[in-house]
Every structure is written in C-alpha cells, then in structure tokens.
Structure 1
Amino acid sequence: MSRLRGRLVLLVPVLSAALAVTGCSGGGGEGAEPAAAKPTFDGAQELRQAATAMAGLKSLGLTLSTEGEPAVPVRGGDLKLLRGGDADGTVTLEQSGQTVEMKIVATGETFYVKGATGGWQRYPKAIAAAMYDPSAVLDPQRGISALLQKATGVKAEATESVGGKESHRVRATLPRDAIGGLVPGLTTDVSGQIWVAKADHRLLKVRGEIPAAAQGGGKGSVVITFTEFDAPYKIKAPE
C-alpha cells in the first residue's frame, strides 16, 4: 500500500494542475510585452462565460509544462480526460534529480500506472480517488467551472493570440478555501492569469505561479494549454 500511495501522490500535482492553476500565475505573458491599450472587455464577465463553457464539456485534452523550479514533481504531461473520470496520458516527473516518464490510464473502476521500467500495475480506482479523483476536473460542481466562479481580484489585462485563436487575458486569484479540497497540500491563495477564447469563451491557457515550498523547494510556474474540447476520446484499459 505504501508503494501505491507513493505513485499516486506523484500523480496528484499532474491531475490537479488544471484545477490548481486555473486563475493563477505570477508573471506576465511569454517574454517582454509592449505597452498595451486599456482592455475593453470585462474580466469578471469573461470568467463567468468561461465557467459556463467549461461546465458543458464532455472531454478535455491538455498539455502541461513548467518554468523555473516550481515545488511540484511534475515537469510535463499530456492528458485526455472524460467527464465521467476516465483518463489517459503520460506525465514527466522529476525524482531525485532524474526525469522519469510515467503512463497512466483510468477506466471504469480501475487505475493503471506504468513507470519507466516494468509493466502496467493495476489498482482499484477507489484507492486513487481517495487521493485525487480525475472526474472532478470536468464536474460543474467541483471542477474548473466551479473554481472560475470563485475567483477574486479579477482584472482584464489584454487581448492576444493563443495558438492562433484570439483570446482575452484575465488576472485573478483563487482563495485557498475554494481549492483546498481539490489540490492537496495547498496552503496559500493562488493568483495569476487565464486566457479565454473570444469566440467560444473556453479556456485556452493558464499560467500559474507555484510558491516555494516550506521545506525549501523551488519556485516557478506551471503552464497548462488546453488542446482539445469535446473530442470523441475512446479510453481503453492497456493490453
């Protein structure tokens, strides 16, 4: 059981990253930006519309990367999530100074994990859900949509392109009591930036600053890019 807990704890920052950094970041956009005109959109309205748009999704694809040395073991990832809780993808972790890639599949009542060596390990999904439940991500009452509605300090920043799509960039803060149950170990409010598509109000990207850990961990940012919405994913148990 201790070995299982160790593996699942490493997955928590990955699967919860979409929740933790929705509305969080410390820096501005990528690189230096020229002075921009005062935004003409309403930041609070953008987040309300995004909450509605994300609440209706049946599936979501996302990629994850890090900047600097954030105090989380995840360094990258590519995940596909279904609203019912099934998930499939890969994550890159840093363990004892080494980079390790791990594959994960959650389907039905079973959770599968495959490390850099060895085959797939199979566990009851209920055990994984006790630490983190992937079905929470797209749940309108527990996931991204609910968190967007609880954002504070909302401020419109700029209009810019993300992946070829025009978006509105909004700065906001999520209070720790709004995300504490979804992101284990979070002890501070999380502030940052959210990019919302102008055309359909879906989230395109978030960048969140992860504060230094109390035990002396590093500091940096986690970047989530949402790549697919309502794609017809067919997630199956590994062979």
Structure 2
Amino acid sequence: MKRRSIGVILVALVLVSGCSGDGSGGLPDAQLMIRNAGYATKSISSAHLAVTADGSVPGLSLQRLDADISRESSPAASAGSAVTDLGTIDFIESDGVLFVKGPSGKYAPAPAGVALPSPAAMLDPERGISQLFSTLEAPTTFAKTELDGVAAFELRGNVPQTTLAAILPDAASGAEFTVWLRVRAPHVPLRTILTFPAGGALEFVVSDVNKPVSIAPPT
C-alpha cells in the first residue's frame, strides 16, 4: 500500500529559464516559485505522505506517520500507520472518521485518547500543506543545491501560527519554513521542513503524486 519514492506535488507552469531573478545571484524569484508550488498542491488527487517529527513539536505526540491518501471521495480518505507515544497504530481515515486496528486485527473508531493528525486534511486544498505556501511570509530563494540526486532550489520563509493551526490544532506559534523545489519544471517540492522556536522540527515528504490508490473503508 505504501509507496516511498521521493517526489511531490505539482502542476507548475513556469520553466526555470523563464523565472525572473530575485537579486540573489541569479536565483529565481521566491514569490513566483512558491506561488506555483502552492497552486500545484491543490491538483493532487492521491499521494503518499510521510511525516517525521524531530524533537518536541507543539501539540504533537508523533514520531512518524506514513499514509496513502485519496481525494477521489468526499471527504478524502487515508490509510497507513503512525509511531506515537502509545506505540505503532495502524489506521484508516474514512468518511471523516479515524478507525484504528485493534488486537483482533479489526478496525474500530479510535477510542478517546488516541489522536492523530489527519493525513487527508494535510492535503486538503483549502487548509492543508498548500496553505503553508499561500501564507508564507518573507520567502527567499536561498541556494541552488542537490537533494537525493535531484537539482533543487532551497527556499526559506516563515509560516504564521494561524496557518499551522489548520493542520496542527495545538500549534502555539509559527515556524520557520524550508522547502526544496525541483529546478526542472514542474517545480516539485521534494522536501518541506517546519522548525519551531523551541527547536523541534516536522518534515513532510509527499510522493507518488496522482498514482492510483484504493482505500477500502473498514468493515
């Protein structure tokens, strides 16, 4: 069910050769790159999402989450596993309800005390990762580099607390935002990291964009 080849999100319209410089040694304009990346996330119909926490992330008792997500239905569905303070949890998100696998191997609505961030919400076009791009403050194209063998532009900025609250309801502050966008169009976000004032960080990797995903509701 899980697909792990790194990639991510996008339907961008602007070639690198057509990007205007931002004064940073010929690097492309950050606002233009971010805008295209944000638009692209809204076109995703399915994807694999990997979320990794490093250190203490406000309001999140999660070390790792992997999920396949499909937006073919409404609301969107997801299925995967998460490593939390309670151990490893296998889950299915269907019809807006979180189901977790019990000792018998059957899925049941998550009991009180079991809370996971919604993978489907993270790819929601109005309140998910795309909003991190649309509300980014002071974006800057920092460097041209290479990530896992792929040429990428590294961009940095800040995400306000009000935006983070849509995907992390207990977020008490904003966060520094770093994203690596593929140099070759479409400018796919290869990796995204949120760094919080207390030092914790949250990494998002979205892969297998728009590849067929079938998520059956629990029975």
- TM-score, length basis structure 1: 0.68
| Unpaired stretches in structure 1, ≥5 consecutive residues | 1-36, 213-218
Flag the 1:192–1:179 CA change in 2: closer, same or farther, 3 A. Answer: closer
After TM superposition, give the deviation of residue 109 of structure 1 in Å. 5.6
Give the drift of 1:110: 4.7
CA-atom RMSD in angstroms:
2.7
1:77 aligns to 2:65 (yes or no): yes
State the distance in 1 between where 2:63 and 2:170 align: 18
1:235 aligns with 2:208: no
Which residue number corresponds to residue 104 of structure 1? Answer: 91
Alignment partner of 1:220 is 2:200:
yes
Match of 2:54 in 1: 67
- Structure 2 residue 86 is the aligned partner of structure 1 residue 86: no
- Residue 213 (structure 2) pairs with residue 207 (structure 1): no
Tell me which amino acid in the other structure corresponds to 1:233.
Answer: V
The 5 A counterparts of 1:1-239 are: 38=25, 40-71=27-58, 72-83=60-71, 84=74, 85-95=76-86, 100-108=87-95, 110-114=97-101, 117-123=103-109, 134-198=119-183, 199-212=185-198, 219-238=199-218
Gaps of 5+ in 2: 1-23
TM-score under structure 2 length normalisation: 0.74
Inter-partner Cα distance in structure 1 for 2:118 and 2:143: 34
- Post-superposition Cα deviations, 1:28-73, rounded to whole Å, max 9, x if no partner, equal xxxxxxxxx8461111111101011111111121222233444531
Structure richer in helix, relative to its length: 1
For the 8 Å contact 1:53–1:201, the answer to whether it is kept is: no
CA-CA distance at 1:118 after TM superposition = 4.4
How many pairs does the alignment contain? 188
Secondary structure in 2 matching 1:50: helix
Give the stretch that moved more between structures: 104-113 or 229-238: 104-113
Instruction: State how far apart, in whole Å, the 2-side matches of 1:194 and 1:119 are.
Output: 38
Indicate if the aligned counterparts of 2:77 and 2:92 stay in contact, CA closer than 8 A: yes
- The question of whether the paired residues in 2 share the 8 Å contact of 1:64 and 1:78 is answered with yes
Q: Report the alpha carbon displacement of residue 89 of structure 1 after superposing the two structures with TM.
A: 0.7
SS at match of 2:28: coil
Cα distance change of structure 1 residues 109 and 207 upon mapping to structure 2, 3 Å threshold: closer
Could you tell me whether the CA contact under 8 Å between 1:157 and 1:168 is conserved in 2? yes
From the superposition, tell whether residues 47 and 109 of structure 1 become closer, same or farther in structure 2 (CA, over 3 Å).
closer
8 Å contact from structure 2 (residues 81, 89) kept in 1: yes
Identity, % of aligned positions: 21
**Relative to 1, partners in 2 of residues 1:70 and 1:150: Cα closer, same or farther, differing over 3 Å?**
closer
Amino acid at match of 1:224: F
Over 3 Å counting, the alpha-carbon distance change for 1:134 and 1:225 in structure 2 is closer
Question: In the TM superposition, what is the alpha-carbon distance from 1:154 to its structure 2 partner?
Answer: 0.7
Counterpart amino acid of residue 193 in structure 2: R
CA contact (8 A) 1:70 1:211 kept: no
CA distance in 1, matches of 2:90, 2:202: 20
